[in-house]
Structure 1
Amino acid sequence: MPGWLTRIGERSQRVDTVAACFAAHRPVFLVLDQRRAAERCAALVGQPGWHDYLTLFAGTPLAPLIEASPWLIELKLGSEAWQAAAALCQEQRCGWAFQPAQDTRLADLADHLRRLFVLDDPHGGQSLVNVQDPAAWTTLLAAGSDTSYAHCIGPLGQVVTPTPLPHWQAWLPTDEADEAAAPPLTHELERALKEIQRAWWLSQAADIPLQKLPPEWLERLTQLAEADIARWRDRKRLLPLVRHADAATWRHAQAILFDASLTVQQKISELERHS
């Protein structure tokens, strides 16, 4: 298993009720990927408990993508708006929530988040990170260094993210970090941002928390991808093989996977026989 996944358990704890993580008398905030459920997100505006929001790409070099921009929303905990937005985060992987330790202006929180969308990458360029996606945000928090983690949490205080399963993860707050520069996108972080998509799917499909996924399952899923078995529905057909094959059976499966004379569908059919 990618070692960084174990840090989810080291830097956060499982919670079954997200509202229990926050102080009831203070507002909560959500980073919401409104493009994933545009109509449901638009319906949030003006609901009881809705306070304010900012479009995070506004006023940044990402402004040409404004229609796809995530929102930063301020809500009243427990309100209709909160209930609807939290359901969007969990059911459709549309975002995540946080509550600063002290009163903080919405604009200041937005400025902090805006610095995390475009990071210097190890190739001498810059890369866009979908911070609004709970999978990508989980990766930034778990796969980065301690310094990077502290910077990302920064002024956000208590951060709570949905998971592939019905529970949430509450991340350990830290002292506010230096806001001068965003953390770099290292080679490890780049790999992790690719790995998280497979790990997220596998966690949900197998009903196992991300940090407890057996390493060989992820390695096998990666090999399916390398053999051009890219569609999730095909990978689901092969999930019994991924989960239950012994070493000898998987070696035979590898021979099928990387047999250049077989089409993808032929590989899937052959592999299913060994599931």
Structure 2
Amino acid sequence: MPGWLNRLAERSHPVDSPAAGFDGHRPLYVVLDQRRAPERCAELVGQPGWIDFLTLFAGTPLSPLLEASPWLIELTPGSEAWQVAAALCHDQRIGWAFQPAQNARLDALADHLRPLFVLDDPHGGQSLVNLQDPTAWTALLAASSDTAYTQLIGPLGKVVTPTPQRHWQTWQPAEEVGEAEAPSLTHELERALKESPRAWWLSQATDRPLQELPAEWLERLARLDAGGITRWRDRKRLLPLIRHADEATWRYAQATLSDAGLTAAQKISELERLS
């Protein structure tokens, strides 16, 4: 299993409710990818429990993409607005929530998050990180070094992310630190970001928590991807092969995937026969 999935259990634990352990007397905050559900997100504005919001790309080099900017929303715990936002985070996987240990200003929290959307990468350039996507955010938190984890969490306090199952994941608060620079993308972080959509899909398709996925399944799914089988519906047809193929069957499957003379459809047909 990739190391970042192993560290999920070290840095977080499952909870049934996203608000478990939150202080009901202080605001909650939600990072929401409003562009993926614009009408439902717009309906949040002004609902009971809605306090305020900021667009996270405002005042950054990403400001030309302002219409697609994620929102940082301040809400009252237990309110109608919070219930709708929590459902959007989990059911549509378009956000995650947090509550600082102490009262915090909305703009100060936004200032912490904004530099994290564009990080220096190990190739000498910069990469855009979809921080609002709980799949990417989970991978970053799990794969980062202890120092980078502290920098990512920073003043956010208690962070809660949705999972492929019905429960949520709550992350350990980081130790208090002074002002710190945004962490950089390492090769391991890049790999985790690339692997995370596959791991999330496999977890959902098999109803097995991310941290319990066998490494062999993930390696096989990655091999399908490298062999040109990239659509989720095609991968679902091959799920029995991913889960149950013995060593000899999988060697034959690998030869099929490596055959440049076969189209993706032909590979799928041949592999499905092996399932």
Same fold by TM-score, threshold 0.5 exceeded? yes
Name 2:19's counterpart in structure 1. Answer: 19
Structure 1 segment 196-235 matched on structure 2, within 5 A: 196-235=196-235
| Kept in 2: contact 1:21–1:170 (CA 8 A) | no
| Kept in 2: contact 1:227–1:257 (CA 8 A) | yes
Name 1:156's counterpart in structure 2. Answer: 156
Separation in 2, partners of 1:263, 1:102: 57
CA RMSD of aligned residues (A): 0.8
Separation in 1, partners of 2:196, 2:241: 21
Where does the alignment leave 5 or more consecutive residues of structure 1 unmatched?
Answer: none
Name 1:262's counterpart in structure 2. Answer: 262
Name 1:179's counterpart in structure 2. Answer: 179
The range that moved more, 14-23 or 108-117, is: 14-23
How big is the shift at 1:203? Answer: 0.5
Separation in 1, partners of 2:88, 2:21: 18
Name 1:72's counterpart in structure 2. Answer: 72
Structure 1 segment 1-275 matched on structure 2, within 5 A: 1-275=1-275
Where does the alignment leave 5 or more consecutive residues of structure 2 unmatched?
Answer: none
The range that moved more, 254-263 or 89-98, is: 254-263
How big is the shift at 1:21? Answer: 2.5
How big is the shift at 1:159? Answer: 0.3
How big is the shift at 1:261? Answer: 1.8
- TM-score computed with the length of structure 1 as normaliser: 0.99
| Kept in 2: contact 1:57–1:69 (CA 8 A) | yes
Separation in 1, partners of 2:98, 2:160: 6
| Kept in 2: contact 1:153–1:176 (CA 8 A) | no
How big is the shift at 1:263? Answer: 1.2
Deviations 1:131-180 (A, max 9, x none): 10001110110000000001111100000000111110000011233433
Separation in 1, partners of 2:44, 2:257: 47
- Give, as a single letter, the amino acid of the residue that structure 1 aligns with 2:227: A
Separation in 2, partners of 1:17, 1:181: 32
- TM-score computed with the length of structure 2 as normaliser: 0.99
Separation in 1, partners of 2:5, 2:91: 22
**Identity level (%):** 74
- Give, as a single letter, the amino acid of the residue that structure 1 aligns with 2:70: P
Separation in 1, partners of 2:240, 2:133: 28
| Kept in 2: contact 1:51–1:76 (CA 8 A) | yes
Separation in 2, partners of 1:201, 1:122: 27
Deviations 1:183-232 (A, max 9, x none): 11111111110000100111101101111100000000000001000111
The range that moved more, 38-47 or 168-177, is: 168-177
Please give the secondary structure, in 1, of the residue aligned with 2:37: helix
| Kept in 1: contact 2:49–2:75 (CA 8 A) | yes
Separation in 2, partners of 1:80, 1:13: 26
Please give the secondary structure, in 2, of the residue aligned with 1:115: helix
How big is the shift at 1:41? Answer: 0.3
Separation in 2, partners of 1:268, 1:175: 49
Please give the secondary structure, in 1, of the residue aligned with 2:20: helix
Separation in 2, partners of 1:127, 1:32: 20
Please give the secondary structure, in 2, of the residue aligned with 1:116: helix
